[in-house]
Amino acid sequence: MPQLNKLSAPPQGLSSGAQVILDMAKRLFAEQGFDAVSINQIARQANVSKANVFHHFSSKEALYLAVLRSACEETVGSLAETHSSGRVADDLWTFFSSQLAAMLGNPASAKLILREIVESKDGRERTLAEEVFAEYFSRLVGMVRAGQAQGVLRRSFDPALFAYLMLGANIFFFENHKVTAHLAEGGFVRAPERYSRDVFQLLLQGALADPEADHQAPGS
């Protein structure tokens, strides 16, 4: 349970040897968590010696931190540019669907970050992973608030609450779709795109202002 309260990113890339170690470590840490993975395992699967791992990373915790930093960089990079289209519903849809696609497209990074957020211990300071999450969240809240200001969305609910629901729906799906797939009534997880579209439609339906019946679903 490493701490990582600092954002201080090392400026440049890694040597090729260090890179394969880091990639393998990312995969294993994401799948099994920090404690379940040993340096031995990482070294073996990366086809290097254990000592070589410690040559590139001063400790297991330092390796984990490097992995997490890399995951955060990939994540913020994947949603760098979000240009508004003017239509709030479309912007929300773009954000919503691309966020799930980003997680499914890079599950290792997503799992790492989500794990780090949930695992955060007691009275501990804010972590790097939480910074990323907060960034996501604030952007989404802004969109919802804009929709309310324009009168497209009802003003009777907290914009942060709606944003929270949207984010939660995606993250919950991402973390559980393997399990829910073999659930009796869970046939609806056949395709993530379909899930995305249907959930968004349901959520938006609950948020739209009354007289605006002419909004068409983004996927149709």
Partner DNA sequence: GTCTATAAATGGATAGAC
Partner DNA sequence: GTCTATCCATTTATAGAC
Tokens of residue 178, six digits: 């393997």
Q: What count of Cα atoms within 13 Å lies in the side-chain half-sphere of residue 124?
A: 17
Binds 23: which of a copy of itself, DNA, none (CB < 5-8 Å by kind): none
Residue 208 sits in the site that holds DNA (CB under 7 A)? no
CB of 16 to a copy of itself, least distance (A): 29
Q: Which stretch binds DNA (CB under 7 A): 55-63, 72-80, 97-105, 129-137?
A: 55-63
List the one residue from 21, 57, 199, 218 that touches a copy of itself (CB under 8 A). 199
Binds 118: which of DNA, a copy of itself, none (CB < 5-8 Å by kind): a copy of itself
Cβ closest to DNA, residue 39 vs residue 160: 39
User: How far apart, in Å, are the Cα atoms of 90 and each of 120, 162, 178, 189?
Assistant: 34, 16, 29, 23
Binds 41: which of DNA, a copy of itself, none (CB < 5-8 Å by kind): DNA
Which residues in 56-85 contact DNA (CB under 7 A)?
A: 56, 58-61
Residue 57 sits in the site that holds a copy of itself (CB under 8 A)? no
Tokens of residue 173, six digits: 């799906």
Residue 4 sits in the site that holds DNA (CB under 7 A)? no
Tokens of residue 42, six digits: 């990482």
Cα(28)–Cα(153) distance, rounded to whole angstroms?
A: 43
Which residues in 95-154 contact a copy of itself (CB under 8 A)?
A: 117-118, 120, 126, 130, 133-134, 137-138, 141
* Residue 215: DSSP 8-state: P
Cα(122)–Cα(116) distance, rounded to whole angstroms?
A: 13
Q: What is the DSSP string of 78-141?
A: HT------S-HHHHHHHHHHHHHHHHHHSHHHHHHHHHHHHH--TTPPPPHHHHHHHHHHHHHH
Interface ranges with a copy of itself (CB under 8 A): 1, 32-36, 117-118, 120, 126, 130, 133-134, 137-138, 141, 157-165, 168-169, 171-173, 175-176, 178-180, 182-188, 195, 198-199, 201-207
